[in-house]
Amino acid sequence: MIHDPTSDHDDAEAADNDSTEGENTADGRPHRRIRSFVTRAGRVSTGQRRALDDFGPRFVVPYTPQPLDWDATFSRSAPRVLEIGFGMGATTAEIATARPGDDFLGVEVHEPGVGALLKLIGEQGLENIRIVQHDAVEVLEHMIAAESLDGVHIYFPDPWHKARHHKRRLIQPGFVSLLVSRLKPGGYLHLATDWQNYAEQMLEVLSAEPALDNTSDAGYAPRPDYRPVTKFERRGLKLGHGVWDLVFKRR
């Protein structure tokens, strides 16, 4: 989910005692797997609710533990791009408008964001977006076939900026390995963040993945033309904050 850099992530405090995958409790029961998000109780507006009702049946794909048939879902064969955590969907809609020849599957857990993107889909008549409202890890594991994606977008994921929360960041070696397994050879992975420490971690993790090559000799890439500047990013830039893009390709 695209985050507001002004957020203090108070709900991370409540999540700080969550368990790590693979460890057991004192009575031997397995801990829950750490999720890459915290479910926030956002209010769904009247317009978002109407969009969920009107456009959800057509554009929201139910989660199922089996590979998605992209050609049947989009009624065509086209390059396939997965976006993880699209927030309120404005960036997704803008990219889909600029790239009508590509199909975009957006994964987001928060209902207001799903409703907001559906509203944009309806207003702009977009046909090349579908949505899965579910945990991205399970979608990748079960709905995305190996070597089936032409691209992956992850923009401004929650930075979990306190050091003790860094383990909750989405971009970790195991998750990147899963992403790479779903990319076609030559497929790209595009990340962006406005937290320098997270950018450094992203660069380190992606550079250590043997199946990926950095497209930029400088480490961080110039912002590709297709990625619009978000309102939070624009505000941060005015305040002198940095933004880092990373674009890697699968060998």
pLDDT in tens, 25-75: 444 444 445 455 555 557 999 999 999 999 999 999 999 999 999 999 999
Does the annotation flag 232 for ligand binding?
Answer: yes
Dihedral angle, C-alpha 137, 141, 145, 150, nearest 10 °: 20
Quote the pTM value. Answer: 0.85
Active-site residue flag, 18: no
Does the annotation flag 27 for ligand binding?
Answer: no
Q: What architecture is the 11-38+61-250 domain classified under in CATH?
A: 3-Layer(aba) Sandwich (3.40)
pLDDT at 230: 86
Name residue, tokens 């060998």.
251
pLDDT in 10s for each residue of the chain, 251 residues: 445 443 333 343 334 434 344 444 444 444 445 455 555 557 999 999 999 999 999 999 999 999 999 999 999 999 999 999 999 999 999 999 999 999 999 999 999 999 999 999 999 999 999 999 999 999 999 999 999 999 999 999 999 999 999 999 999 999 999 999 999 999 999 999 999 999 999 999 999 999 999 999 999 999 999 999 988 788 888 888 899 999 999 99
User: Which residue among the candidates 53, 71, 158, 245 is catalytic per the annotation?
Assistant: 158
Does the annotation flag 231 for ligand binding?
Answer: yes
Would you say 70 and 103 are in contact if contact means Cβ atoms under 8 Å apart? Answer: yes
Give the integer Cα–Cα distance in Å for 173 and 60: 30
Would you say 178 and 106 are in contact if contact means Cβ atoms under 8 Å apart? Answer: no
Q: Which residues, 6+ apart, have CB-to-CB distance to 58 below 8 Å?
A: none
Q: Is 173 helix (H, G, I), strand (E, B) or coil?
A: helix
Does the annotation flag 225 for ligand binding?
Answer: no
For the chain, the structural domain boundaries read 11-38+61-250
Q: Which helix (H) or strand (E) holds 98?
A: helix 90-98
Q: Which residues, 6+ apart, have CB-to-CB distance to 186 below 8 Å?
A: 249, 250
Tokens standing for 182?
């779903």
Would you say 152 and 82 are in contact if contact means Cβ atoms under 8 Å apart? Answer: yes
pLDDT at 33: 52
**In angstroms, how far is CA 10 from the centroid of its own chain?**
21
